[in-house]
Amino acid sequence: MTSPGRRAEVLRLLRAADTPLGIAAIASHLGVHPNTVRFHLDALVSSGLAEQAAPADRRPGRPAQLFRAVRSMDPAGPRHYQLLAEILVRSVAAGPEPGVRAADAGRAWGRQLAGPPDDGEPVARLVSLLDDLGFDPGLRVSDDGQQIGLRHCPFLELARERAQVVCPVHLGLMQGAMAAWDAQVTVDRLTPFAQPDLCVAHLAPAGGGA
C-alpha cells in the first residue's frame, strides 16, 4: 500500500528538478520501488500535473522514460468563489446606480443561458431554467396574476447583505431569458423575501411592465 503523501513527494521532486527525471532516479531519491513511482506518475500525468518528456540525446536501445512537472497552477488547489463574488458585489454596490447595473448584468446572463427561441411555452422554460440554477421555483396564481415562487436562493448569504445588487441580477436574469425567447410575457418585478422562505417573481405582458 502506498503512502497518501507519496504522490505529492513525486510532484515536488519533479517541480524542483531542472531537467526531466527518470523513474529509477525518482525511486532512488524517495527510497521506494520503481513500480510505486510509476503508479503515481501515471496518476499525475492523467491529472495534467506532469508530462512525459523526450530524452535530450538519442542513444541506441530503448529510451528511458523521463517526466517533468507541468508548469501551471495546481488545479487541485482550494477555491474561494464566494470571496470573489463578495468583492464584485461590493464593487457594484459602491458604484452609481447599482440596481440598474446589476439588472443589466442579469439580463445579459439570462440571454446567454436561454438559448434560441423554440416552440416551447416560455414560462415553463423559465421555470425549468430557474430549477437548473437551484432556485427551487414553482408556478403560483394570485389576485395579481401569475407568479413564480422561488423557495431557494443560490446566493443567499450575498442576497441578505446586498439585496440591492443580488436581487436585480435575478430579476434581470429572468427578463433576459424571456426576451431571448421572444416571449409575450416577462417578469416585471421581483419581491425579495415576500415570506422568510419565499421570493416572488411577478409575470406580466411583455412591454407593459416597469
pLDDT of amino acid 3:
58
Q: How far apart are CA 187 and CA 140, in angstroms?
A: 13
Q: What is the pLDDT of residue 1?
A: 46
What does pTM read for this prediction? 0.69
CA–CA separation, 27 and 10 (whole Å): 9
Q: What domains appear along the chain, each with residue ranges and CATH number? A: 6-69 (1.10.10.10), 81-205 (3.30.1380.20)
| Cα distances (Å, whole numbers) of residue 131 to 149, 179, 196 | 11, 19, 19
pLDDT at residue 145 in the model: 85
Mean pLDDT of 103-123: 93
55-69, 76-90, 140-154, 160-174 — which one is most confidently predicted on average? 160-174
What pLDDT score does 134 carry?
Answer: 95
Q: What share of the chain is helix, strand, coil (3-state, %, to 5)?
A: 45, 20, 35
Q: What is the pLDDT of residues 131-155, one digit of tens each?
A: 999 999 999 988 878 999 999 999 9
SS3 call for 20: coil
